[in-house]
Structure 1
């Protein structure tokens, strides 16, 4: 059950999806100047225009790389790396070179319904097949209306802009026809969206290639969704529950079970499919941060 939304945050990205190097540049600058976005020379520090400055700040927060803190008795605001995510990414993959990191960034965006409600709705609730942008705007707009508190409204034009941003963000560069869209978001490499072959201007959600989505990215999302102290979950929840692996990565039940079998063979979990239980049990206590660290440390050893 969702909490009712009183104020909808739309177009926080200023219609710019983050580009290669933006996250790294933002992290590097706030490490030097925590109050970077309050500085008069922020455009010079980041080397971009005013709208892109707002967009970089938005994506640092939307991806959970950074959190905003109030200082000076609430009169000032500074950004700092989140301990359980941003600091780990900055330590092991500061340039976001590993596609594993990009899949975890994608998860952070999808679950962030405060800043990224359109992304949240698209992956968690929208089941469109061979859909156009107009289909997406119509259905996701209706879904958003259901989440609104009584008397709350949202701008349909801004919502449409956000829907366009979602499609641009994930569509692979080889399928982009507009040369002005050549500066793509790194998440376009994840394989989560493609142009439909059935009709023009239509899209389909797609599952990532097996050699792209690592089993530990799947484990990271599973562990992130477990309540504190709990080490088991029904497989059906993994497939259908919002912000879990089925929804976040466009995985059907067959593909979810394939990843669970990989994790079982690797010793991370036990699967019980007897007597209709269909449960998984972690073999040891884990946190999202420990899964991230394990992946990066094992990768560096290879």
Structure 2
């Protein structure tokens, strides 16, 4: 598991497009001692940017002809070609899923908060203490509380750092604040209250929901998934997007009428299942 690799920086507006463009033009960009000058960021910010692009599953490090470099993943190529400025909510939702999925053990705090932590309203000190306790129970090595605190701070800013309405040049907001998955409220006791927000499917988008469903089935090597699992299971709709049961059923009903790849309801052993068609998550995105 990984902690505080983000250099205390949440991802800023325009970072994503700058990073994808730099890597697409030069696979050795993040090995260049002067990359920070070329991209217009501080040295620590460049390290943070590299971390975020890897954690979001849009770049990967590979050895090519004896030389290490960073290359766009299939997902990264799709974003680079279609929405590198992250103007679509669907793009943000898919990337959020990959952070929560934590495939390469890069974003532990995101996986923990959305997939394991059950409280929907909590004070910031209690949130920190809960994460400290979880880390101690699940780690075999000693993790500094300073690193854990940085992760909690970054998690909150990642989803709540909104643009300054009075400053059209504001570039320090997080693009993921548009998802509105989390809200902070100042309490009378001098600390923030953190609230998970239950989203509407129009905010998440049907495409990301389908992408998550197909990714789950591909990893499990099955074309069947129970509705109960979609609601309550790890790395699925209920947990990843804070979706209620009613919203999940609503989205599934929409997918039964999908133009290209309609899903099917199946009843087996008195349980309701969904059968997905033979299409890969990347195939779905490429349309």
Fold shared, TM-score > 0.5 on shorter chain:
yes
Q: Is the 8 A contact 1:172 1:193 kept in 2?
A: no
Shift of 1:28: 1.0
Aligned: 1:206 with 2:206: no
2:234 alignment partner in structure 1: 242
Alpha-carbon separation, structure 1, partners of 2:44 and 2:235 = 29
2:87 to 77, 94, 97: 97
1:138 to 126, 129, 133: 129
Shift of 1:146: 2.8
The SS at the match of 1:278 is: strand
Point out the more displaced range, 191-200 or 215-224: 191-200
Residues 1:129 and 1:174: Cα distance change in structure 2 (over 3 Å): farther
User: Within 5 A, what are the aligned runs for 1:83-94?
Assistant: 83=74, 85-94=75-84
Spell out, residue by residue over 1:140-169, the C-alpha distance to the aligned partner (whole angstroms, 9 max, x if none). Answer: 2222233223xx121111111111111111
What's the TM-score once normalised by structure 1's chain length? 0.85
Alpha-carbon separation, structure 2, partners of 1:174 and 1:197 = 18
Aligned: 1:48 with 2:41: yes
Spell out, residue by residue over 1:173-212, the C-alpha distance to the aligned partner (whole angstroms, 9 max, x if none). Answer: 2799xxxx97211000102112358876212101223322
Shift of 1:109: 0.9
User: Within 5 A, what are the aligned runs for 1:73-222?
Assistant: 73=66, 76-83=67-74, 85-112=75-102, 114-149=105-140, 152-171=141-160, 173=162, 183-196=172-185, 201-222=192-213
Q: Is the 8 A contact 1:239 1:245 kept in 2?
A: yes
Aligned: 1:233 with 2:225: yes
In structure 1, runs of 5+ residues without a counterpart are 1-7, 295-302
Residues 1:262 and 1:53: Cα distance change in structure 2 (over 3 Å): same
Residues 1:131 and 1:276: Cα distance change in structure 2 (over 3 Å): same
Residues 1:175 and 1:192: Cα distance change in structure 2 (over 3 Å): farther
The SS at the match of 1:123 is: helix
In structure 2, runs of 5+ residues without a counterpart are none
1:30 alignment partner in structure 2: 23
Root mean square deviation, CA, Å: 2.3
Spell out, residue by residue over 1:98-122, the C-alpha distance to the aligned partner (whole angstroms, 9 max, x if none). Answer: 1110100101111116110011100
Aligned: 1:263 with 2:255: yes
What's the TM-score once normalised by structure 2's chain length? 0.89
Q: Is the 8 A contact 2:266 2:273 kept in 1?
A: yes
Aligned residues between the structures: 277
The SS at the match of 1:127 is: coil
Shift of 1:72: 5.5
